[in-house]
Amino acid sequence: MRRLLAISVVLIMGAPPLRANWGGEAGGSVATGGFKAFGTTQVEMQSENLLIQLYRDRAKVQVDYVLRNTGEAVDVRAGFPCLSMSSKSTRLLEVEDYQLMAGGRVVPYHIEQGSLGNWKTLFDPDFAKIAEGAWLSEKDEENNQPSQQTLWWLVSTVRFEKGETKNVTIRYESLYEESSSYVSDDATENDDYFRYLLSTGAAWKGPIEKGKVTIRAVTIDPKSIFIKPRNRFHEAAGGFVWEFSDLKPTAEDNIEVCLNDKFNTIFNYALNNSDDRGNASWYSFEGNKYYFDFHGYAAVASSEKAGYPAKAVGDFDPTTAWVAGRNGGINESLTLQLTTPEHVDQIGLIPGFAKSKALYYANNRVQEIEVLVNGQHQVTATLPDEYISFGPNTKKGYELIDLGAYTGKAQTITLRVKKIYPGTKYDDTCISEVLLRKRLKTKPEVQGAR
């Protein structure tokens, strides 16, 4: 669970990102405290090639270094910083699936504790304040146990012979800095951020001789992002690119990407007057666009696996799912009978078993889906293969499909699976949730919680 709760106003966020170069304390880095790098001062960074791929709730990062030892043989000991937020019951890490390779071989790492030092200066002041007093779970809130922040170093040792040049690669996934504020069931979802601390590269001998940073918006709108440092990146065929040479990086060179995705929701209390959220609905205010999001339908399926019924796609619970009962899911379908006919403009899908990231990829995920409105209007969509951890309480948790122009109101909507991404363990095709979205022509006059 990576959601954080606070009393009165509920606050939701991912762990604040501290991604950085492999190295140690240097150049304005937050990397202070017990960990000390060894051997880096005699090794030059001849090149650094950084690829940042932006997905909906995380970035996938790969850094390729060419390092040259200018002295005698040495076992270089260097670390990669990772922020943890933890309580007695929960621990959140911002870096997932971390791997370091040297000379084409995987190098193991261990974890050492550092000191947070001036980490707060890297983030929005409101976010830093929120993080200090947040609860990681409802259990923590009940027991009055606010979270604690810790800086960990993912430490590896790499052998360099005298005069040796070596290729080193680091790969990982990193959750965005993500925060929300809640008043009762109404939410303000703040902008999401990604950061990479180029400044820790100053721990190596001399400047970075040659560098290239590429930022690609994979499943987000590239026009929505804002990148710092300003005036360094230019738009190219592969994304946004910054190339440099002979750079001794400082804090001014640290990279920040704002996804500019702030919006707010107001829960529809008029139609949701019970604790049963199976028909949950809300209004979504997204800049100058307004939507009514709802789950008001009954679902039936062409087939079901025992224990995984069609009705699970409308229960507002990502830990349950519909699982097709035959054909590995291909050409199996869900039909939604709307409780009250509405003109639906978008469908939101959680196209896999979202109980956990591991189960999501262990099972089949929907790759291509055919949507049929009232048995007539047809749209086919290809979905990206990405795990989204936000949950079903806002549009952020779903893959969104535009239905295009059609007349009248939707009474039935049929979803037919055409292609799948194969699971690593099971041949079960799953859909956890389906959200219906109606585009509103004007800003709705609704009263939020007080």
Q: What are phi and psi of 192, to 5 degrees?
A: -90, 150
- Answer yes or no: is pLDDT of 275 > 70: no
**pLDDT class of 244 with cuts at 50, 70, 90:** very high
Please give the mean pLDDT across all residues of the chain. Answer: 85
pLDDT tens digits, 117-159: 655 555 556 555 656 656 555 666 666 666 677 777 889 999 9
Check residue 182 and give its pLDDT. Answer: 76
The β-bridge relationship of strands 95-102 and 165-175 is antiparallel
Q: Which domains does the chain have, with CATH numbers?
A: 9-258 (2.60.40.3680), 267-440 (2.60.120.260)
**pLDDT class of 304 with cuts at 50, 70, 90:** very high
Predicted structure pTM score? 0.86
pLDDT tens digits, 195-238: 888 887 888 999 999 999 999 999 999 999 999 999 999 999 88
Answer yes or no: are the C-beta atoms of 263 and 286 closer than 8 Å: yes
Check residue 132 and give its pLDDT. Answer: 61
Check residue 270 and give its pLDDT. Answer: 67
pLDDT tens digits, 53-95: 999 999 999 999 999 999 999 999 988 877 777 766 666 777 8
Q: Is 207 helix (H, G, I), strand (E, B) or coil?
A: coil
Answer yes or no: are the C-beta atoms of 241 and 214 closer than 8 Å: yes
- Of 230, 236, 235, the residue nearest 254 (C-alpha): 230
pLDDT tens digits, 328-360: 999 999 999 999 999 999 999 999 999 999 999
Looking at the chain, the whole-number percentage of residues with pLDDT higher than 70 is 81
**pLDDT class of 16 with cuts at 50, 70, 90:** very low
- Answer yes or no: is pLDDT of 37 > 90: no
pLDDT tens digits, 106-126: 999 998 877 666 555 555 565
Check residue 28 and give its pLDDT. Answer: 29
- Answer yes or no: is pLDDT of 432 > 70: yes
Is residue 357 within a helix (H) or strand (E), and if so which, with residue range?
A: helix 357-362
Check residue 27 and give its pLDDT. Answer: 30
Q: Is 252 helix (H, G, I), strand (E, B) or coil?
A: helix
- Of 45, 130, 46, the residue nearest 85 (C-alpha): 130
Check residue 44 and give its pLDDT. Answer: 95
User: How many angstroms from the chain centroid is the CA of residue 194?
Assistant: 10
Check residue 81 and give its pLDDT. Answer: 78
16: which residues sit within 8 A by CB, 6+ positions away?
83, 94, 119, 122, 123, 127, 128, 131, 149, 177
Check residue 422 and give its pLDDT. Answer: 98
What value does the mean pLDDT take over residues 414-433? 98
- Of 395, 386, 391, the residue nearest 285 (C-alpha): 395
DSSP 12-53: EEPPPP-EE-SB-S-TT-S-BSS---BSGGGEEEEEEEEEEE
Check residue 79 and give its pLDDT. Answer: 84
What value does the mean pLDDT take over residues 147-172? 89
Q: What are phi and psi of 337, to 5 degrees?
A: -100, 110
Task: In whole angstroms, give the CA distance from residue 101 to residue 97.
Answer: 13
- Answer yes or no: is pLDDT of 373 > 90: yes
Q: What are phi and psi of 53, to 5 degrees?
A: -110, 120
- Answer yes or no: is pLDDT of 3 > 60: no
Looking at the chain, the whole-number percentage of residues with pLDDT higher than 90 is 63
